Chain A
Amino acid sequence: MLALAAAGAVDGEAVGFAEACLASTLGVDTLRVGPFPDPWYAYDTARGQYSSTLILRDALERRPANAAKLLVLTERDLFIPMLSFVYGQAQLDGAVALMSLARLRQEYYGLPRNRALFLWRVRKEALHEIGHAYGLTHCSEPLCTLSLSTDIRQLDAKGGDFCASCAILLRDAVAAAQNAARGPDRSGGVT
């Protein structure tokens, strides 16, 4: 089971679209939880941004027991101390992932609103972060949605799907997570 949660007030259509993309691409059941509180506790006054590490820590506490993975979405602009911003962050092969919608809108760059482009970016970022949560690292295939994007042009240049190799790795990782959730296989043996 893959859970999604909004941290604070988040664009509902974007959350729904991310959920639909994850369900269809990963072939897993999804569950909507939350909403979680607005991440005020992660606000850094000097930077005017929110610490993605602190939000991830909070998300780990709130993850429902029946959810193998949890993706948290926020409108807040995220950072890690080393970098000026991050689109999202995930525990590699861990339980939680986080993504921000702040820099996915055209308006952020002073450009006219483009809803379709925004939702397409939401899809890419959601698949990218949840891919990390399933243990996949950045892909060297530029069109793969798991390739690294360090700015919005790179995010737009890559595709909205996993490459063939990553798709196989992800399928195996999802199956392994589902098997682990089911517990030891007791179906063997003839009675």
Chain B
Amino acid sequence: MKKHWAILVVDDETVMCESLAAWLAEDGYTVATAASGREAIALAAANDYAIYFVDLKMPPGIDGLETMMEIRSLHPEASVIIMTAYATVDTAITAMKEGAQEYIVKPCNPEEISLLVGRIIKVKTLQRENLMLRQRLTKQYSFHDIISKNPKMREVFDLVREVASLRSTVLIQGESGTGKELVARAIHFSGDRAGKPFVAVSCAALAESLLESEMFGHERGSFTGATERKRGRFEQAEGGTVFLDEIGDISPKLQVDLLRVLQERTFFRVGGNVEVRVDVRVIAATRVNLQEEVAAGAFRDDLFYRLNVINIRIPPLRERREDVPLLAHAFVERLSREIGKEVGELSEGALRLLMDYEWPGNVRELENAVERAIVTAKTHVLTEDDFAFLRGASASANGWTAPDSLPLEEVVRQVILATLRRTGGNVREAAAVLGIDRSTLYDRLKKYGVDR
């Protein structure tokens, strides 16, 4: 049975190369030979071999160890077997230190080399199968770059498909880092407007006046620095979708302007008196509970009802822990490629740690954690040590200890504030976490003079 694995034999002795290549070819491998380190490196740069047999002693130029190091810099996952006729402990240690997977003394027993090659190929076959299965799994659970097998998320996908081609406004609710913009993009790119622009505006990032100009554009001379007329995001999105992120952060004045756009599909540029008409679908997103904001009088109820025609809630990552391995593997695959580091695996220990972690920053935090681990990783497998920084974060979040001299009331105040920060200002969620009624929490906030 053909094994479809390529092997490169590097030795300056022709008979050595020829005979080992022939012996390996009889076993079904595709074998190439190189008579020097330079030739081997050139071949390795152009091809990907599963195993490299490299003779330690080669004539002046590039010796076996240097050849191996060059090959490993080209293919960090390559398995290099160093061959030598003179076994010394020093050379063996050096070879293994520099990354040789095996070190064999020639001549060796046919059984030894057969088992060695078989073992390496078995591991590589498993790695390849593992990667293929994971890719298949990711594909199966992937929807417009959102990966999930969680039933609630599958319902979100179904809802996205259903509403994609409608013009109705959508309100996406979810904690920071849950992928609200990805869901908005999925709606846009699954529907009739896919060929038109998708324009995102972060309402939290800009001051009121700038945000107004950003959304609706401005006329020349409308304010200092407005040297020419500028089209706003609504105009840029003509025929497509405007995604308003963190809609809960917009000012009362902008709430009125936005309400007008949603009702009339018209607006005025800043400093302008010509009504501009647009055909734009609005998708808004918020990390805070807008209903509570309405109840607290911080958000207009008429705007809320206009926005909340279709409501999509994205569950936080801690409510869909089954997605953590899927997402982690997908991030490892993508980020290792982007960073240019050959990291392809997550150890069981690392996965356990990731599964146990609370992920207050949700999918974005997981992505950042994987990126940080890849950057600092020493081998091609990410272990729990590579995610040690999460243990500290977890301990500080969970293993809270009371300071020595702090009034109880102040401790309660700080706990309430910390919980509110963690829930992104969501009072209902914070109340649930603290185990108190929402009204009690409101009372406390009022008492402490806390401005949410």
Whether B111 contacts A89 by the Cβ 8 Å rule is no
Bound together, the chains give a CA A2 to CA B22 distance in angstroms of: 21
Which residue of chain A has its CB nearest to the CB of B15?
A: A53
Which residue of chain A has its CB nearest to the CB of B26?
A: A132
State the Cβ distance, A3 to closest chain B Cβ, in Å. Answer: 20
Whether A150 contacts B114 by the Cβ 8 Å rule is yes
Other-chain residue from A82, A85, A140, A150 in contact with B19 (beta carbon distance below 8 A): A82
Most chain A CB within a 10 A radius of its CB, from B28, B106, B110: B110
Whether A80 contacts B19 by the Cβ 8 Å rule is yes
Tell whether A81 is near chain B: CB-to-CB under 8 Å.
yes
Tell whether A174 is near chain B: CB-to-CB under 8 Å.
no
Which residue of chain B has its CB nearest to the CB of A93?
A: B25
**What mask results when residues 130 to 167 of chain A are scored 1 for a CB within 8 Å of chain B, else 0?**
00100001111000000010110000000000000000
* A150-B111 contact, Cβ under 8 Å, with A82-B23, A90-B26: yes
Bound together, the chains give a CA A137 to CA B24 distance in angstroms of: 9
Whether B110 contacts A81 by the Cβ 8 Å rule is no
Residues of chain B lying within 8 A (CB to CB) of residue A137: 1-2, 25-28
Other-chain residue from A54, A81, A138, A150 in contact with B20 (beta carbon distance below 8 A): A81
Whether A53 contacts B28 by the Cβ 8 Å rule is no
Residues of chain B lying within 8 A (CB to CB) of residue A79: 107
Tell whether B18 is near chain A: CB-to-CB under 8 Å.
yes
Tell whether A74 is near chain B: CB-to-CB under 8 Å.
no
**What mask results when residues 1 to 35 of chain B are scored 1 for a CB within 8 Å of chain A, else 0?**
11000000000010110111011011110000000
Tell whether A116 is near chain B: CB-to-CB under 8 Å.
no
Bound together, the chains give a CA A148 to CA B19 distance in angstroms of: 16
State the Cβ distance, A70 to closest chain B Cβ, in Å. Answer: 16
Residues of chain B lying within 8 A (CB to CB) of residue A53: 15, 18-19, 22
Bound together, the chains give a CA A117 to CA B23 distance in angstroms of: 26
Whether B20 contacts A84 by the Cβ 8 Å rule is no
Tell whether A92 is near chain B: CB-to-CB under 8 Å.
yes
Bound together, the chains give a CA A53 to CA B11 distance in angstroms of: 15
* A82-B106 contact, Cβ under 8 Å, with A51-B15, A150-B111: yes
Residues of chain A lying within 8 A (CB to CB) of residue B25: 92, 137
Whether A89 contacts B27 by the Cβ 8 Å rule is no
Residues of chain B lying within 8 A (CB to CB) of residue A81: 13, 15-16, 19-20, 106-107
Tell whether B113 is near chain A: CB-to-CB under 8 Å.
yes
Q: How many residues on the A side are at the interface (Cβ–Cβ under 8 A)?
A: 25
Tell whether B109 is near chain A: CB-to-CB under 8 Å.
yes
Bound together, the chains give a CA A132 to CA B22 distance in angstroms of: 10
Bound together, the chains give a CA A63 to CA B111 distance in angstroms of: 31
Other-chain residue from B23, B53, B107 in contact with A84 (beta carbon distance below 8 A): B107
Tell whether B406 is near chain A: CB-to-CB under 8 Å.
no
Tell whether B100 is near chain A: CB-to-CB under 8 Å.
no
Whether B15 contacts A84 by the Cβ 8 Å rule is no
Bound together, the chains give a CA A91 to CA B19 distance in angstroms of: 10
Bound together, the chains give a CA A83 to CA B114 distance in angstroms of: 10
Tell whether B207 is near chain A: CB-to-CB under 8 Å.
no
Tell whether B295 is near chain A: CB-to-CB under 8 Å.
no
State the Cβ distance, B373 to closest chain A Cβ, in Å. Answer: 39
Which residue of chain B has its CB nearest to the CB of A52?
A: B19
Bound together, the chains give a CA A132 to CA B25 distance in angstroms of: 9
Other-chain residue from A47, A51, A80 in contact with B23 (beta carbon distance below 8 A): A80
**Interface residue ranges of A75-116 to B (CB < 8 Å):** 79-86, 89-92
Tell whether B108 is near chain A: CB-to-CB under 8 Å.
yes
**Interface residue ranges of A42-73 to B (CB < 8 Å):** 47, 51-54
Bound together, the chains give a CA A140 to CA B114 distance in angstroms of: 13
Residues of chain B lying within 8 A (CB to CB) of residue A148: 26-27, 114
Whether A86 contacts B23 by the Cβ 8 Å rule is yes
Residues of chain A lying within 8 A (CB to CB) of residue B15: 51, 53-54, 80-81
Bound together, the chains give a CA A125 to CA B26 distance in angstroms of: 14
Residues of chain A lying within 8 A (CB to CB) of residue B23: 80, 82-83, 86, 89
Residues of chain B lying within 8 A (CB to CB) of residue A91: 22
State the Cβ distance, A77 to closest chain B Cβ, in Å. Answer: 12
Which residue of chain A has its CB nearest to the CB of B83?
A: A82
Residues of chain B lying within 8 A (CB to CB) of residue A80: 15-16, 19-20, 22-23
Bound together, the chains give a CA A137 to CA B107 distance in angstroms of: 23
**Interface residue ranges of B103-123 to A (CB < 8 Å):** 106-111, 113-114
Residues of chain B lying within 8 A (CB to CB) of residue A139: 1
State the Cβ distance, B343 to closest chain A Cβ, in Å. Answer: 32
State the Cβ distance, A164 to closest chain B Cβ, in Å. Answer: 13
Bound together, the chains give a CA A51 to CA B22 distance in angstroms of: 13
Residues of chain A lying within 8 A (CB to CB) of residue B108: 82-84
Whether B26 contacts A83 by the Cβ 8 Å rule is no
Other-chain residue from A51, A85, A138 in contact with B26 (beta carbon distance below 8 A): A138
Which residue of chain A has its CB nearest to the CB of B18?
A: A53
Residues of chain A lying within 8 A (CB to CB) of residue B1: 137, 139-140
State the Cβ distance, B58 to closest chain A Cβ, in Å. Answer: 14
Bound together, the chains give a CA A52 to CA B15 distance in angstroms of: 10
18 further interface pairs, Cβ-Cβ under 8 Å (given A82-B19, A85-B110, A91-B22):
A51-B15, A53-B19, A80-B16, A80-B19, A81-B13, A81-B106, A81-B107, A82-B20, A82-B83, A82-B107, A83-B107, A83-B109, A90-B22, A137-B27, A138-B27, A140-B1, A148-B26, A148-B27
28 A-B residue contacts at CB 8 Å? Answer: A47-B107, A51-B15, A53-B15, A53-B19, A53-B22, A80-B19, A81-B13, A82-B19, A82-B20, A82-B23, A82-B53, A82-B106, A82-B113, A83-B23, A83-B106, A84-B107, A86-B23, A86-B110, A89-B19, A89-B22, A90-B22, A92-B25, A137-B25, A138-B26, A138-B27, A138-B28, A139-B1, A148-B114
A-B complex: 7 closest residue pairs judged by Cβ atoms: A80-B19, A150-B111, A137-B28, A150-B110, A81-B16, A53-B19, A84-B107
Residues of chain B at the chain A interface (Cβ within 8 Å):
1-2, 13, 15-16, 18-20, 22-23, 25-28, 53, 83, 106-111, 113-114
